[in-house]
Amino acid sequence: FFHMCWDTMLNHIDAMRIIGKRRIDGRNCIGIEISFMEGQRSWYLWLSDHDNFPRGLKEVVRAGSNTIVTTEKYFNVRFNGELEEAAFKWTPPADWKEIIVPEPEETALKVGQIAPEIALQSIDGEEIKLSDYRGSVVWLVVWRVGCPPCRAEMPVLERLYKENTHKGFVVLGVNFIDDKQIVRDLLIKNNITFPNIVDSSDAAIEVMLGEYSGDTTPANYIIGIDGRIVDRWFGYDKNDMRGFKTVQELLGN
C-alpha cells in the first residue's frame, strides 16, 4: 500500500483500532492497529497528525511456531518533490549472475507418480498418514490462512467432501505455516470438517516444500485409490471445474 502498489490483503481487514500516540521524525503520530485474517497478520501504522501520511509501519505475521516482524520508519517525508534520474537506475556489479527461479509447474510432482508419504500431526495433535487413505480418492490441498484463494476454495471443497465422503472420497488439507489456534478458529468459523494437517515442524516443512511445492498455495493434488497422482495444479478459479470432473470420473459418477 505504501510501496506504490495495492496489497491484496487490504480486502481482508477484519478489525482496526487506535492504539495511542508516538513522536516520529519530529512529528506527532497517531497509531492504528489493523488486523487481517482473524489475526494471522497485523499492521501497526503511525500516521502524522500534520499530513496524515505514515511515518512508521510494523507488520506482524503469525506463522506457526515463528512470528515474523518487519519494521519500517519513514524520515524526511516530502511531497511533489523532484527525483533525480539516477534514483531510477541500477548498475549491477561486474561479477553478477542471473538466477531464474523455476516455476512451480516445473518442479511439481508428476501425474502418474506415487504421492510421497506424509506422516504429520493433525490440528488435534493426532498423526495423519496419507497412506491411511489408500483405497480412497484423495483431494490433497496445501493451503495457508493468509492466502485469499485458499480461503475461497475451502468451503467449495467442504461441500464436495460432504457430498461424496460415503463414496470413498476424502479432502485432506495441509497447513505447515500458520499458528494452530488461528487455523482452528478459521476452520470452526467456516464449518470446515474435512481432516486437516496443521504442522509447522521441520519434518513438515521438508516434505511439503521439498516434495509438494507447498510454497505456492493453494497447491491441489488429486490422488487415486492406488496412491498415484491423477492430476495436480496450483491456484483456485471458481469457474474451473477440472478437479471436480476428475473426482467424479474416479468415483464412477
Going by C-alpha positions, the residue among 27, 94, 68 that lies closest to residue 178 is 68
Does residue 241 share a domain with residue 132?
yes
One-letter amino acid identity for 169? F
Please indicate, yes or no, if residue 92 is contained in any of the structural domains. Answer: no
Using a CB cutoff of 8 Å and minimum separation of 24, what contacts does 63-68 make?
Answer: 63/177, 63/178, 63/179, 63/200, 64/176, 64/177, 64/178, 64/179, 64/180, 64/200, 65/200, 66/200
Does residue 48 share a domain with residue 126?
no
pLDDT tens digits for 41-50?
889 999 999 8
Question: Residue 226: pLDDT above 90?
Answer: yes
Query: Residue 52: pLDDT band by 50, 70, 90 thresholds?
Result: confident
Does residue 235 share a domain with residue 115?
yes
One-letter amino acid identity for 126? E
Question: Residue 81: pLDDT above 80?
Answer: no
Q: What is the DSSP string of 3-56?
A: SSS--GGGGGEEEEEEEEEEEETTEEEEEEEEEEGGGTEEEEEEEETTTS-EEE
Domain span at residue 114?
109-251
Residue after which a domain boundary falls, among 78, 101, 117: 78
Domain count along the chain: 2
CATH number of the domain that residue 128 is part of = 3.40.30.10
Q: Is the pTM of this model over 0.75?
A: no
Give CA–CA dist 172/144, Å, rounded.
13
Does residue 170 share a domain with residue 116?
yes
pLDDT tens digits for 93-124?
889 988 887 777 777 899 999 999 999 999 99
Please indicate, yes or no, if residue 84 is contained in any of the structural domains. Answer: no
Does residue 147 share a domain with residue 52?
no
Does residue 201 share a domain with residue 160?
yes
Does residue 120 share a domain with residue 72?
no
pLDDT tens digits for 118-160?
999 999 999 999 999 999 999 999 999 888 899 999 999 999 9
pLDDT at 2 (0 to 100): 54
Please indicate, yes or no, if residue 165 is contained in any of the structural domains. Answer: yes
The burial of 45, by beta-carbon neighbours within 10 Å (0-12 exposed, 13-18 middle, 19 or more buried), is given as buried
